[in-house]
Structure 1
């Protein structure tokens, strides 16, 4: 991606989101809290730390599961990049439709 497509130090536009999502790595499944989202990645809040380099699948409302890799972690927040970025039009549709902002999205727990 060229520098003209970068937004600040980010590769793409990032939107604050408050929504639960399902994640899995192998047979391990967990419920996570999506904190923010961009076409290239997602910031998650979890009960357990996700180590840098860990790969897993995340299922966001209205989308197929997306494979992610943890790029950074701090306490219980993790910055993850999508291995295959979301299409810009799909990202805008998700954000504009508010599909990732249910009324009571503050709760998350392992499933």
Structure 2
């Protein structure tokens, strides 16, 4: 059976200021005066991020995002839907910082595991 089809890219029309990068990064979120809560960053851009958190967030609250290897970044919770929250950075990430965050971690190659007999 042959299907005649054509692929096309749908333009982003959701009003975003920056292109999102889909990720799965462990991080931490902290409100001023609160303890740190573990989160998973689901997508990130130079303008903000979406995360999955077990701790409730409140729209409009100021939070700090911490991911391994980077200083905590001040953000504001823009929306909350169930366990997901969308946050906007107070100052945009530099594009090189974004690339460093989303870059896959280098794999450690163990030498000498496979030996010839």
User: Are 1:17 and 2:17 matched, yes or no?
Assistant: no
Superposition pairs for residues 15-94 of structure 1, below 5 Å?
15-25=21-31, 26-94=33-101
CA distance in 1, matches of 2:54, 2:16: 26
TM-score (norm 1): 0.75
1:77 Cα deviation from its structure 2 partner: 0.4
TM-superposition CA deviations, 1:69-95 (whole Å, max 9, x none): 100111110000000110112212322
CA distance in 2, matches of 1:93, 1:48: 27
Backbone CA RMSD of aligned residues: 1.5
Q: Which has the higher helix share?
A: 1
CA distance in 2, matches of 1:61, 1:48: 20
Question: Rg bigger for which structure?
Answer: 2
Structure 1, unmatched stretches of 5+, are 1-6, 100-111
TM-score (norm 2): 0.71
Structure 2, unmatched stretches of 5+, are 1-11, 106-117
Greater relative contact order (CA < 8 Å, ≥ 6 in sequence)? 1
